[in-house]
Structures are given as structure tokens and as C-alpha cells.
Amino acid sequence: MSLDWLRPAALAGLAVIAGPVLVHLLRRQRAPRVTFPTLRFLVPTRAAAATLRRPSDLLLLCLRVTIVAAAAIAAAQPVFVTTWRHAAWERRVARVLVIDETQSIGAAVPRVRDVVAAERGGSTQVSEIHTTSLAEGLKQAAAMLRRADAGRAEIVVISDSQLGSLTAADVGALPPEIGLRFVTLGAPRRGATFRGWRSFHAGSAPAVEQQITLDGSRTRIMLIASKPSAREVTFLAPRERAEDVAVLKRVVAAAGAPEMPVDRGLTMIFPGAVLPAVEPLRVLWMVNALAIASADARLLAVASAHRGAPARSPGTPWVPLARNGSGQPLVLVAAANQNLVAYVSAAPSELVAAAALRSLLFAIVPPPNWREREVERLSASQLAGWTRAAKPSAARWTPQPPGDARWLWGLALLLLLVEGFTRRASSSAREEHAHAA
Amino acid sequence: MIATLDPRVLSAVSDLELVARVTVDGAIAGLHRSPFHGYSAEFSQYRAYRVGDDLKYVDWKLYARTDRFYTKQFRETTNLLALMALDASGSMGYAGANGVTKATYARLLGAALSHLLAGQGDGIGLVVYDAAVRTFFPSRTGRSHIRSLLVALSRVEPGGRTAAASALKRASELLKRRGLIILLSDLYDDEDAVERELRRAVRMGHEVAVFHVLTPDEVTLGLNGEVEVEDLESQHRILTRASDVRAQYQTRFGEFLQRWRTRCARYRVDYTQTMTDAPLDETLRTFLLRRRAAGPAR
């Protein structure tokens, strides 16, 4: 059996023990004063004076010290860790349900509710994490369980277990004592066909759209003709650069890039063009696009490799998106009339212009969640291999309230009564003793 | 069987005259005559009866033998004059285990003596003293005088220091002729000075009786454990452990008592040591019996 504390800081209250000790030392033992007809036959004794320097009434002092100590210890809320208590602790299971919220599980949502209700029964603590990324959900669950007050911890993944939703690395990152179970819901799908991107097109080239077909482990992508988008990228460049701009569009179209959605706009401006009135980026999709594009390794690599000296860059509120090898801004962005405006400090014929355009198109049009479309499932053997039982961990032990403070409070109360009785008895006994013949 | 009078009971009775009478009645029961010898009427001679003589002085037996009238003549008629000196110092306020203070005991004893002396026509006076004389009543007879004296006795409250010597000196000087001085005290005083005044009083022809009033606690040191003892007169305090000093205290106290016995015996002073738990009538009776055994002083 060991001892643990719920509020160990309260043990500092033990310092209060010095109180009664000091009081008894300072007050000393007060000899009862008695009157006598004469002192002529009496002599003072040293022993009496020495006795009076000892703490008065040792029994009372002991009682008072014990009361204070019991109260301080009770305030610290001790927990006696017995075998029984430890076993009970180990029986406690903290459970986190990682619930797949991807569209693919949509049809199985009622079943999810049933599973959640079943998993909640019999467990001390159950938390839920609703996520569209099981890998992220596992990380969050592990973090939550690290703080859980239970002897064992378990993660239950409720999902349709699409292939790729979890990897061995995701599972391996979990602490080994955390249990893992999988509840697979929904009927397996044989195949699915859906639309991918509408491709950026240039000039008279026909607009095409991806048609993706998943058939078991096979994937087919067909490009089918589609209507051109009502929203196109606007280019502002000197008239003599028109041909370069056309080449730029064709290059980007050939390289492959998504078409602009109808609710967003992009304007590319090259040196020599009249700059429109711009404003800082405030619209969320523009800020997101800036964040995505500024992390595009290809764009950054092309920009840093750009040799030509950049034209004089406009100032505020333009925000640099990419810089050349000398650190000078090469591509800058701002906002104008709900459009994202990009200023490329190079000719349209430069590679950096194509890289900037393609990067911005990808940044403006978020990639579809291909994983959502997966029809293959993680194999049963794979899930069984990842499944493991929760193990009790001594490191997880945390003392649980209410602890055993109530016994100490009771003891303190009892001793308080004894102290009161002893104080009265001692006082009257002293008087009687002094006068007793 | 003579019932003893418990001082605790008597001290609770407020009527000092009643207490005195009861005490005296208890003390002299069985005694045939008073041990006090005053200067009372003493036969001198016969002379022939003259017209006008009081017939109660005619000796009728002599008339029967001689057939002549003779009148008895007396030489002198005087009574005893007594003066009580009552110590009312602070130390007399100490009460023993029975709760009766020495002052109370002395007061009761004094009242009994007053009643006894007054009952046989002797004069009795009172000096109440502490560091100085507080109250003085000259020795007189008469019921009203005795009542006043008893009232004064009942009002005695102990307090202050002791100086018995000056009170004794004054008492012996105030007695107009040879008389009886009764000292009621615990004798915590300047022993030599008191002895000097006792000797002086005896040399002046007075009889002196000392009632040494004590409590049993004083004799045995009735304290226990570590105590802070405060002197009732000087208010000085000392810390002591009673068990450690008891033997020494008792030795010293025994020597103190012995000194007083020796001093009193040296000057033929009647010394009576009494405890506050001793029955009053027995104390008085012992005193009276000893006086009777000693016979008239003069």
C-alpha cells in the first residue's frame, strides 16, 4: 500500500504545526498561583523554574499538534493506494470514439449512433472525436487519453475504413498501452464515377473535364468536353506582350491546371501595364490562396532561379508571394474588386509567370478530397493486426477523489473533542492539585 | 457526652453573641468555678450593727450564737480587667482546608472569651491591629459594651502587614491596673520585638495569654506540585515545588513553634497553639482547664 495526494500543495499547511508548538513554548507552563500566609519558611526551587521553561502541558500540545497535522493532511486529500483501489482503478477504462464524418459514411450515420451508444455503456469515461481525417482523430484521441483518469485507455475507430484513411504509421504513433479497436460500418462499394477538375484551357482549345471511375482497385480518368467557364483569368500586360500572354496560357493549359470557379476571380498583371487600385487581402479565400501558393515549392524554386532583374515593385498593400535569388519580390498579390490580383515582376514569357499562374490556380481552386471517393476498404486482416487491447499502465495512475480525507477530518474532530475535555480536566486538576493538602 | 463545636459551623452563624454563648456554655460545662481570679469582694472584719446598716450584711449566725447584731465588713471589691489583642493582618486571612480563616477563628475565640469574662463581671477590652492599631475598646463591663465589642469583632477583616509589638505595648499601657492581656495571632511577626513587648507586659504585672492560631495547611505545607506562592502580607512571590521543600518547611516551621513555646514559657506567658479545624469549645476548655490547674496568679 502506498500513499498519494490529491492536493499535495496543501501539505504546506503542516507548517501550521509550528503554531501550537510556539504557543506552548512561549506560554510555558504557568504554575498555579496560590496565596500563603508567609514565605519565611519556603524557599524557591530551581527545579520548578526549569520545569516552567518546558512546553506547557505536553499532552495538550501533542493533541493540538495532531489536530493541526490531521487537518493539514486531510486538506491535502490523501489517497491510500490499496490493492483493491488499484484494481478498481485498472478496471476503469477511458475510451475515445473516433467517428468518421466523411461523406462516404453518410448512409451509415444511424448505425454510427447505435455503435456510439453501445460503446458508451460500461465505460467510465467516453469522449467522442468527430473527424474527417482518421489519422488526425487518432492523434487527438491519444492526446486526450494522456490526461484521462483511468487505468486503461482505448480508442475505438468508427468508420467505413476506406483504404488510405489510416496507415501503419498513424497506428504506430499511438502509445503502446492504448488499446485500439475498429468498428467498420457501411456496405462496401464496388465502384463509383464522379467528376474531377475542369481543366484550364487557353485560346480556342476546347474545355475539358475529368471523369473519374473507381472500379475496385482500378481507377480510370477520362477527359470529356465541357462548356468553358464563365470566369476566366484576366491578364494586364502591355500590348506588345499579348502574344507572350497567349503563350503563357497555352503553357499552363498544357501543364494542367484547374479552371477558375465562377465565384472567384484572378488578375495577372505584368510590368508596363497600368496598375489598378488595390487593397489588402481581406477575403478568406484570397488569404488561403496566398498561404497555399507561398508554400508551393515549384513556384519558389522557379522564382529563386529567376535571373532577370525584377521591375520596380509596387509598395503597400502588395504582399510578396515569391522572391528571386536576391530576395527581391518577384510575385506580389493584392485584392481588387473581389479579385485576387497578382503582379509578376517579369515578362509573361518567363517561366516564373507560368509557375505563378499555375500555382495560383491550384491555390484558388482547392483540390477535391479524392480520399472521400475511395471504394476500397482496409482489409479485415489489416484492421485485426492493428487491433490491440488496452493495457493498464502504472504511469497513468492518478489519485481519484474523494480520497481518504474524510477519515482524517473525523479524526481531527474527535481529537478536538478530546482536546476540549482534556483542557478542562487539566485546568481543574491543576487548581485542585495546587490546593490539595 | 459534650458535643464539640465545629468552627466551620460556627463561622457560618452571623450572630457572634450567640456563638460566644454557645461556645462558653460548651466549654465550662462540668467546670465548677471560673478559673479567672479577679479582685473580688473579700471579708475583712465584723463590727457592731449601727442603725442604717444594710440588713443583708448582718451575720445572722453570729446573732444566733451571741444574741448581738454584727455587720460584715469587706476589704475591697475589684474585678479582672482583660484586654484582647487581635491580629487582623493579611496572613490571618488564610483559610485552611476547612475554609475557616484564622481571622474568623480568632474572632470567634475572642467573642467566646469576651462572653466568658463579661459573664463573671470582669472588664474586657479589645485592640484590633495589623501594622498599627485599627480599633481600640477599653476594658469595661456591661452588656452594651460587650455588644459593641462583639460588633467590632464581627467587622474585623484581615489585611495589611503585622506589627504585634506596638499593639502589645499599647495594650499593656492602656490597662489601668494589672490585668490580663490575650493575644490572638499567628505570630508571623518580628519575633524579637514581640518577645520584648511580652516580657515588658509581664514585668508590668499583667498576665499574658497567647493563642497561636494556625491552619493545618501551614503546619504541613498543604501545597502540591509546582506553585507560585504569594505572600498574603507582602505580596512577594516565589516559584517552588512543594514536594521538594516540604521536609525543609516542616522542620523550619517546627522550629518556629518551638521558639514561641520556649519564649512564652520563659516569661510565664500562657501559650495555646490552636488549629482552625479544632472545635472552639475544646480550645477554650483546654485553656480554662490549664489556667485552673495553674491556679491564681496572684
User: Quick check: is A45 in a domain?
Assistant: yes
What pLDDT is recorded for position B38?
Answer: 44
The candidate with the shortest Cα–Cα distance to A393, out of A136, A220, A149, is A149
Interchain contact, B223 vs A37, CB within 8 Å = no
Tell me, yes or no, whether B225 and B278 share the same domain: yes
Interchain contact, B245 vs A42, CB within 8 Å = yes
Which residues partner with A265 through β-bridges?
A: A339
CB contact residues (below 8 A), chain A span 49-78, against chain B: 49, 51-52
What pLDDT is recorded for position A287?
Answer: 93
A409 has a pLDDT exceeding 50: yes
The residue of chain A nearest to residue B214, with distances taken between CA atoms, is A37
User: Quick check: is A205 in a domain?
Assistant: no
Per the structure, the count of domains in chain A is 3
Per the structure, the complete domain to which residue A293 belongs is given by: 230-368
A41 has a pLDDT exceeding 80: yes
The residue of chain A nearest to residue B97, with distances taken between CA atoms, is A437
Shortest CA gap A409–chain B (Å): 37
Q: What is the per-residue pLDDT across A62-105, written as a single tens digit (0 to 9) for each? A: 888 899 899 988 888 888 888 888 788 778 888 999 998 887 77
What pLDDT is recorded for position A87?
Answer: 81
Asked if A84 is an interface residue toward chain B (Cβ–Cβ < 8 A), one would say no
Q: Order of strands, edge to edge, in the sheet holding A218-225?
A: A191-198, A208-215, A218-225
Q: Report how far residue A174's alpha carbon sits from residue A134's, in angstroms, rounded to the nearest whole number.
A: 13
Mutate which of A34, A51, A431 to test chain B, going by most B C-beta atoms within 10 A?
A: A34
Per the structure, the complete domain to which residue B205 belongs is given by: 7-34+81-294
Tell me, yes or no, whether B172 and B244 share the same domain: yes
Q: Report how far residue B158's alpha carbon sits from residue B155's, in angstroms, rounded to the nearest whole number.
A: 10
Tell me, yes or no, whether B106 and B193 share the same domain: yes
Q: What is the per-residue pLDDT across A200-227, written as a single tens digit (0 to 9) for each? A: 888 777 788 888 888 877 888 888 888 7
Interchain contact, A434 vs B223, CB within 8 Å = yes
The candidate with the shortest Cα–Cα distance to A209, out of A264, A249, A259, is A259
Asked if A429 is an interface residue toward chain B (Cβ–Cβ < 8 A), one would say no
Distances (CA, A) of A123 to A87, A97, A151, A155, B264: 15, 12, 12, 12, 103
User: Quick check: is B12 in a domain?
Assistant: yes
User: Quick check: is A305 in a domain?
Assistant: yes
Shortest CA gap B38–chain A (Å): 37
Interchain contact, A36 vs B223, CB within 8 Å = yes
Tell me, yes or no, whether B183 and B217 share the same domain: yes
Closest partner residue to A39 (CB to CB) among B224, B225, B236 is: B236
Shortest CA gap A428–chain B (Å): 14
Q: What percent of chain A is predicted at pLDDT more than 70?
A: 92
Per the structure, the count of domains in chain B is 2
What pLDDT is recorded for position A391?
Answer: 87
pLDDT tier for residue A52 given thresholds of 50, 70 and 90: low
The predicted complex's ipTM stands at: 0.79
Interchain contact, B227 vs A33, CB within 8 Å = yes
Tell me, yes or no, whether B25 and B64 share the same domain: no
Tell me, yes or no, whether A141 and A97 share the same domain: yes
Return the ∠ at Cα A193 (arms to A190 and A198), rounded to 5°: 155
Mutate which of A28, A29, A33, A41 to test chain B, going by most B C-beta atoms within 10 A?
A: A41
What pLDDT is recorded for position B3?
Answer: 47
Residues of B whose CB is below 8 A from A48: 226-227, 239-241, 244
Tell me, yes or no, whether A155 and A243 share the same domain: no
Tell me, yes or no, whether B17 and B54 share the same domain: no
Going residue by residue through chain B (298 aa), what tens digit of pLDDT does each one get?
Answer: 344 566 766 666 666 666 677 767 666 655 545 555 444 456 667 888 888 778 888 889 888 988 888 888 765 545 788 999 999 999 999 997 778 899 999 998 998 888 888 887 788 999 999 988 888 999 888 888 988 998 998 888 999 888 889 889 888 888 877 888 999 999 999 999 999 999 999 988 888 999 999 999 899 998 888 888 999 998 898 888 888 899 999 999 999 999 999 999 999 899 999 999 898 888 888 888 887 776 554 3
Residues of A whose CB is below 8 A from B102: 37
Q: What are phi and psi of B54, to 5 degrees?
A: -70, 125
What pLDDT is recorded for position B18?
Answer: 65
The candidate with the shortest Cα–Cα distance to B102, out of B244, B234, B265, B233, is B233
Q: Report how far residue A409's alpha carbon sits from residue A414's, in angstroms, rounded to the nearest whole number.
A: 9
What pLDDT is recorded for position A432?
Answer: 67
- Stretch A152-156: mean pLDDT, rounded? 91
Interchain contact, A435 vs B222, CB within 8 Å = yes
User: Which residue spans within A6-124 are E strands per DSSP?
Assistant: 33-36, 78-81, 93-100
Which CATH number belongs to the domain containing residue B285 in this structure? 3.40.50.410
Tell me, yes or no, whether B105 and B183 share the same domain: yes
> How many helices (H) and strands (E) would you count in chain B?
10, 10
Q: Whole-structure pTM over 0.80, yes or no? A: no
Give Cα B298 to chain centroid, integer Å.
Answer: 19
Q: What is the per-residue pLDDT across A93-150, written as a single tens digit (0 to 9) for each? A: 889 999 988 877 777 777 888 888 888 876 668 899 999 889 999 999 999 988 777 8
Tell me, yes or no, whether B64 and B148 share the same domain: no
Q: Report how far residue A62's alpha carbon sits from residue A64's, in angstroms, rounded to the nearest whole number.
A: 5
pLDDT tier for residue A195 given thresholds of 50, 70 and 90: confident
Tell me, yes or no, whether B61 and B160 share the same domain: no
Tell me, yes or no, whether B48 and B30 share the same domain: no
Residues of B whose CB is below 8 A from A434: 223-225, 227
Residues of B whose CB is below 8 A from A435: 222-224
User: Quick check: is B2 in a domain?
Assistant: no
Q: Order of strands, edge to edge, in the sheet holding A329-336?
A: A234-236, A265-269, A339-344, A329-336, A319-323
Q: What percent of chain A is predicted at pLDDT more than 90?
A: 33
Highest mean pLDDT among A35-39, A49-53, A90-94, B221-225: A35-39
Going by the DSSP 8-state scheme, the letter that residue A279 receives in this structure is B
User: Quick check: is A224 in a domain?
Assistant: no
